[in-house]
Amino acid sequence: MNLGTRKLFDRAFTALGFGSIAIMGMMLIIVLAPIVSKGVSAIVFRSTVEHRKMLYSEFHRGNRVSLEKEIAASDAARRPVYEMLSEFEAELGLMDEDKQQEYKAKLDQVRTAIKALLGPLPGESEPALTRFKYGQNRWEKAEEKLKELVYEKQWDYSNPDIAAKEYFVSRATAFEGTSLVRLFPYVEKNIDKMLLPEWTFYWGFITDSSVDSHIFGGIWPEIQGTFFLALGAMLFAFPLGVIAAIYFTEYAREGFITSLLRSANSTLAGVPSIVFGLFGLAFFINTLKVSESKSVLAGSLTLAIMILPTIIRAAEEAILSVPKTYREASLGLGSTKWNTIVTVILPAALPGILTGGVISLGRAAGETAPIIFTAAVSVGSAIGLADVFSSPTPALSWNIYNLASEHEAAAEIRHVQYGMVFALISIVLMLNLSAIVLRARISKKLKG
Amino acid sequence: MIMSGEELSSQGRSSAFVVSARQRKWQKISKTAGESTLLLIASFVAIIVFFIFFFVTRDAVPYFQIRGFKEFFTSTNWYPADDPPGFGALAIIYGSLMVTVGSALIAIPMGITAAICLSDVIPFSVRQYVKPVIEMLAAIPSVAFGFFALVILAPLLQNFGGTILMWTWWVIVSPFLLLAIIVASELLSAKVSDEKKRKRLHTFLSVVLGIIALGLLFFVGNKLQRIEILTGTNALNVSIILSFMALPTIVSVSEDALQAVGRDLREGSYALGATRAETIVKTILPAASSGILAAVILGIMRALGETMVVWMASGNSSHIPSPWFNYLESVRTLTATIAGDMGEADQVTGSARFHVLFAMGLLLLVISFICNFISERIIVRQRKVLSGQ
């Protein structure tokens, strides 16, 4: 090959490497960007008067006087809607049978759409489920519901070769010639007066418990459960891991037992997370019976054995990176081996050990599969510290799955799901970031 | 008198200069006791590994006692709730295999090139910022990836699948084709000795090959664009996300392997006049190949053992896609089946339905154990070879 081609190959190779790194960076951005942007909108959003009503009656927060003023203003704007509805009902009574049938179904659709938008109609009995007591809490959701009220979604099956396409028909055309036709332009024009949107910073999303399985309210029980599980796992795994690392680095003599233990460590690191869940169920719950059924304790123990290898490896590395001179100086001063370890080596290695601990804490907080069978429940309130031995807890990781895949109104509460993912990712990444910073400072310090 | 460090230190603490026999004995005992306590705690890990194998096997054995081996590995009828039930896991095992292979196909080339780039191409100052990016990718919880796959990627694939496939094809293949054209025309025209003729032939070949390549790009791109993806929760979606998750492992372990090759091999190659690409491809990669293989095995293991992403985004339909390589169909994997079916099976603890999930867990456990063992051996051997033992 001539020199030009070789050079070209070299350039192309470099470009390929940079390309793959760039793709990895892009992956991170592609995954994080929507989660962060939509996750923030779970906390900062345009709330409607319905949201403030909900806050006042469910959490007793808000200014009563101004809220009453707002309710009065919004009711005044809503009154014509309800009047138009009852006017049309009266008109319906005068029509002949066929027309009545035809309009009745359509009227029911309109009523449902209005209820979804503004909450229960006046004169109706109080709904049993909290989710039906209030109209749309969030302005962007209200706009969606408004579209559902004004336009009817229909499917186009005309082309049998492709999947059916949806298209929208204005509902007003269906009520042409009746008194209800005025309702649609009125609602469209006055929707902001009916719902009074304003920008809100809803800090309660972090600190409130959920109302009616996450339709309203916040995610505090999940955050607390995640902390309990992760900290519990650390409580078991951290001391064990550090002591094991001390043994491996300071006392172990190369031989069969040591290599066996090391193999066991890497085997444990490679066990699939779902198998930890199975093991936790079979061992901690069904055999040891640490609790009657799922509990925070069982979940923490399961998570602890999962993060143990990571902690051991990090602690080993940290202890090995302590300069030899430290050790020799201490021994030279006449200290015993154990004394050297406790007073000289461990303090010097502590930041490194903590880095590993922090990363493992993040892993324990984010892991889902081991806690499915051992600790997690879908709905529940925050548990007290005394209940950790007996009761299961909701946790961020599990509830993200549950809300996104199994919740009956999963599409309605996307903002809660995004908020939860955002909360989980920020907890985990914050821990990792602090570990990265910590490590950078250590390496600077050890270099001198 | 020569004294060991141990004796010196004990004297340093006690005021007496001479250690009595009793004191000495006591010291010895406490030292042995302390060390054995440490050993006991350190061997805790081994005990746990043993327990995991024992307890998972203990709950898996009853299934094979009740139903035997044949159905589990040969049938595709997975109807655990029916009467009579079907426990054929072949389609599920195949689904696991499929998403693992799919993610490996994406993650391995990218991971290895990224590792090469990290260890040999980019300057140290840039590397400091790239490594945290990889660590963050590794730190993102699997359920967050699953959520991304289910809520963002799946609708995208379903609605704009063909277009996405076409653009991916264009972006990935066109640089390679361009390179191939340049090299091919160079090589084919190299034999002509007359300089003028050679240049003319070179231009001619480039143009012809370029037209052929463009035609190929358009033809395949058009075909891809016409593909309609019926469901976004399919094996392709899962493979893409799993490759994201396997990448950090592959990159960091193979980067370690590349670093372990050492400077002397690199410098020797450069001294012989090789370019950087030639040095990497002909010298460093062969030397580091076993370490990279270990990295690949570990990365694949992550994809095989991953639960949440496949549970949320694979569609969970237990059948072998037709044709067998159709990545646009839903699949079901071992991990997702364990996670998804345990909720119902748990109420009937003791039935085959409960124990079959442990049988699946055992299968995963055994595969991961074997892979781990192999990769560990490989790493140990490479370390020995490179250190010249």
Q: For residue range A79-123, what is the model confidence (pLDDT) as tens digits?
A: 988 888 888 888 888 888 887 888 888 888 888 888 888 888 887
Residues of A in contact with B237 (CB under 8 A): none
If asked whether residues A241 and A153 sit together in one domain, one would say no
Nearest to A63 by CA among A53, A75, A73: A53
A259 and A156 part of one domain: no
Q: Is residue B25 part of a domain?
A: no
Residue B327 CB partners (closer than 8 Å, separation 6+): B98, B102, B234, B235, B236, B239, B321
CA distance A154 to chain B (A): 18
Give the pLDDT confidence score for residue B297 in this predicted structure.
92
Mean pLDDT calculated for residue range B44-67: 91
Does residue A414 share a domain with residue A279? yes
Q: Contact B245/B145 with Cβ under 8 angstroms?
A: yes
Please report the pLDDT score of residue A253 as a whole number: 83
Mean pLDDT score of chain B: 86
| Chain A residues close to B134, C-beta within 8 Å | 24
> Does B41 reside within a domain?
no
> Smallest Cβ distance to A244: which of B44, B304, B346?
B44
Asked if residue A22 belongs to a domain, the reply is no
Q: What's the pLDDT tens digit per position in A14-59? A: 888 888 888 888 888 999 999 999 999 999 999 999 999 999 988 8
CB contact under 8 A, A278 and B357: yes
Angle between helices B352-386 and B285-305 in degrees, nearest 10 = 160
Q: Yes or no: say if A416 and A141 are a contact pair by the CB < 8 Å rule.
A: no
Q: In percent, how much of chain A has pLDDT > 90?
A: 35
Q: How far apart are CA A354 and CA A144, in angstroms?
A: 48
Q: Please identify which residue in the block is written with the tokens 């900062």.
A: A44
Tell me if B37 is assigned to some domain: no
pLDDT at B144: 94
| B142–A368 C-beta distance less than 8 A | yes
Placement of tokens 């209820």 in the chain = A115
Residue closest to A423 by CA, chosen among A444, A443, A395: A395
Q: For residue A399, how far is the Cα from the chain centroid?
A: 7
Asked if residue A403 and residue A348 are part of one domain, the reply reads: yes
In this complex, the residue of B8, B34, B139 whose CB is nearest that of residue A429 is B139
Interface test with B, best of A222, A265, A275, A371 (most B CBs within 10 A): A275
* Selection from A368, A393, A391, A400 nearest residue A379 by Cα: A393
| Peptide bond between residue B132 and the one before it cis (omega within 30 degrees of 0) | no
The answer to the question of residue A18 being in a domain is: no
Interface test with B, best of A1, A267, A333, A438 (most B CBs within 10 A): A267
Residue B326: is its pLDDT beyond 90? no
By CB atoms closer than 10 A (0-12, 13-18, 19+), residue B186 is middle
Mark whether A382 and A437 lie in a shared domain. yes
What is the rounded distance in angstroms from the CA atom of residue A274 to the CA atom of residue B235?
20
Contact A6 B278 (CB under 8 A): yes
Interface test with A, best of B96, B110, B143 (most A CBs within 10 A): B143
Instruction: Give the pLDDT confidence score for residue A69 in this predicted structure.
Output: 92
Chain A environment of B51 (Cβ under 8 Å): 279, 283
User: Which is more confident, A235 or A101?
Assistant: A235
Entry pTM: 0.90
Contact B127, B118 (CB under 8 A): yes
The answer to whether residues A245 and A346 touch, using CB atoms and an 8 Å cutoff, is no
Asked if residue B84 has a cis previous peptide bond (ω within 30° of 0), the answer is yes
Average pLDDT (A389-396) is 89
Nearest CA to A210 out of A328, A54, A45, A36 is that of A54
Q: How confident is the model at residue B271 (pLDDT cuts 50, 70, 90)?
A: very high
Angle at B14 between CA B8 and CA B18, to 5 degrees: 65
Task: Report the alpha-carbon distance of residue A90 to residue A95 in Å, rounded.
Answer: 9
Cβ neighbourhood burial of A448 (10 Å; 0-12, 13-18, 19+): exposed
User: Environment class of residue B334 by beta-carbon count within 10 Å: exposed (0-12), middle (13-18) or buried (19+)?
Assistant: buried
Residue B12 has pLDDT above 50, yes or no: no
Contact A8 B179 (CB under 8 A): yes
Domain boundary among A154, A176, A202: A202
Q: How many angstroms separate the CA atoms of B204 and A150, rounded?
A: 63
Q: Do A278 and B306 touch (CB under 8 A)?
A: no
The per-residue pLDDT for range B346-368, each reduced to its tens digit, is 655 668 888 899 999 999 999 99
Under an 8 A CB cutoff, do B38 and A5 touch?
no
Which residues of chain B lie closer than 8 angstroms to A429, CB-CB? Answer: 136, 139-140
CB A31 to CB B144 under 8 A? yes
Chain A partners of B376 at a C-beta cutoff of 8 Å?
263, 266
B21 band by pLDDT with thresholds 50, 70 and 90: confident
What domain range includes position B379? 52-386
| Sequence-ordered strand ranges (E) for chain B | 78-79, 86-87
One-letter amino acid of A368: T
Between A152 and A371, whose confidence is greater? A371
Instruction: Assess whether A314 and A403 both reside in one domain.
Output: yes
The residue of chain B nearest to residue A39, with distances taken between CA atoms, is B144
A412, A303: one domain: yes
Cα A177 to chain centroid distance, Å, stands at 49
In a domain, B1, yes or no: no
Confidence at residue B348, expressed as pLDDT on a 0 to 100 scale? 58
Give a yes or no: residue B38 inside a domain.
Answer: no
Residue whose entry in the numeric block shows the structure tokens 């012809």: B208
Please state, in angstroms and as integers, the Cα–Cα distance from residue B113 to each residue in A129, B102, B252, B292, B297, following that order: 55, 18, 12, 11, 16
Would residue A3 count as lying in a domain? Answer: no
Asked whether the beta carbons of residue A421 and residue B144 sit closer than 8 angstroms, the reply is yes
CA distance A422 to A365: 13
Same domain, A288 and A422: yes
Looking only at the bridges linking them, the beta strands covering A165-170 and A151-156 are: antiparallel
Looking at A41-126, list the stretches that DSSP marks H as alpha helix, in order from N- to C-terminal side. Answer: 49-54, 64-94, 97-118
In a domain, A100, yes or no: yes
DSSP single-letter state for residue A293: S
Nearest to A304 by CA among A351, A219, A244, A363: A363
Q: Is the pLDDT of residue B126 over 60?
A: yes
Q: What is the pLDDT of residues B331-351, one digit of tens each?
A: 999 999 999 888 776 655 668
- Which H or E element spans position B100? helix B90-116
Q: Are residues A336 and A381 in the same domain?
A: yes
Distance, in Å, from the CA atom of A213 to the CA atom of A130, rounded to the nearest integer, reads 10
B103, B151, B276: best mutation site toward chain A, by most A Cβ within 10 Å? Answer: B151
d(CA A287, CA A278): 12
CB pairs under 8 A between A and B: 290
Residue that is written with structure tokens 């044709």 in the block: B323
Asked whether the CA dihedral A256, A258, A263, A267 is positive or negative, the reply is positive
Q: Let me know the angle formed at the C-alpha of B287 by B281 and B288, rounded to the nearest 5 degrees.
A: 90
Same domain, A78 and A194: yes
Write out chain B residues lying below 8 Å of A275, CB-based.
Answer: 52, 56, 305, 361, 364-365, 368
Evaluate whether residue B43 is within a structural domain: no
In angstroms, the separation between the Cα of residue B151 and the nearest Cα of chain A is: 8
What is the model's pLDDT at position B11? 47
**What value does the mean pLDDT take over residues A390-403?**
91
- Contact assessment for residue A218 and residue A208, using Cβ atoms and an 8 Å cutoff: yes
Chain centroid offset of residue B51 CA:
26
Do A359 and A412 belong to one domain? yes
Compute the half-sphere exposure of residue A436: CA atoms within 13 Å on the CB side of its CA. Answer: 17
pLDDT at A4 over 80: no
What are the structure tokens assigned to B137, written together?
Answer: 């990718």
- Give the integer Cα–Cα distance in Å for A393 and A141: 30
Task: Give residues with Cβ within 8 angstroms of B232, minimum separation 6.
Answer: B153, B154, B155, B156, B157, B158, B159, B161
Closest CB from A9, A18, A279 relative to B117: A18
Picking from B111, B54, B361, the residue whose alpha carbon sits closest to that of residue B243 is B111
For residue B187, the domain's CATH number is 1.10.3720.10
In this model, does residue B17 exceed pLDDT 60?
A: no
CB contact under 8 A, B311 and A401: yes
Query: Does residue B200 lie in a domain region?
Result: yes
Return the higher-pLDDT residue of A221 and B187: A221
Q: Is the residue at A134 inside a domain?
A: yes
| E strands present in B55-183 | 78-79, 86-87
State how far the Cα of A213 lies from the Cα of A441, in Å rounded to an integer: 44
Q: What tokens appear for A415 in the block?
A: 């903002």
Tokens of A131: 């989710």
Do A282 and B56 count as a contact with CB atoms less than 8 A apart?
yes
- Residue numbers in A near B144 (CB within 8 A): 31, 35, 366, 400, 421, 424-425
Assigned domain for B104 exists = yes
- Chain A residues in contact with B312 (beta carbon < 8 A): 401, 404-405
pLDDT for the residue B5: 46
Do B373 and A263 make contact, defined as CB atoms within 8 angstroms?
Answer: yes
* Lowest-pLDDT choice from A4-8, A157-161, B378-382: A157-161
pLDDT tens across B286-310, in order?
Answer: 888 888 999 999 999 989 999 999 9
Instruction: Tell me if A215 is assigned to some domain.
Output: no
Residues of B in contact with A251 (CB under 8 A): 35, 38-39
Handedness of CA B225, B230, B233, B239 (dihedral sign): negative
| Averaged pLDDT for residues B9-23 | 60
| Chain segment A299-334, per-residue pLDDT in tens | 999 999 999 999 999 999 999 988 889 989 999 998
Going by C-alpha positions, the residue among B244, B277, B267 that lies closest to residue B116 is B277
Domain of A192? 47-202
Q: Pick from B12, B136, B278: which is nearest to A28 by CB?
A: B136
The count of domains in chain A is 2
A156 and A254 share a domain?
Answer: no
Q: How many CA atoms lie within 13 A of A71 on its CB side?
A: 16
What's the Cα-to-Cα distance from A83 to each of A122, A180, A348, B223, rounded to whole Å?
A: 10, 10, 77, 57
Contact at CB, A334 and B8, closer than 8 angstroms: yes
**Nearest Cα to B181, choosing from B164, B203, B158?**
B203
How would DSSP label each residue in A187-234? HHHHHHHHH--EEEE-THHHHSPEETTTTEE--HHHHHHHHHHHHHHH
The total of structural domains in chain B comes to 1
CB A197 within 8 Å of CB A401 = no
B306: left (phi over 0), alpha (psi -120 to 50) or beta: beta
Q: How far is B42 from chain A (nearest CA, A)?
A: 4
Q: Is residue A291 part of a domain?
A: yes
Which residue has 């007496």 as its token pair? B16
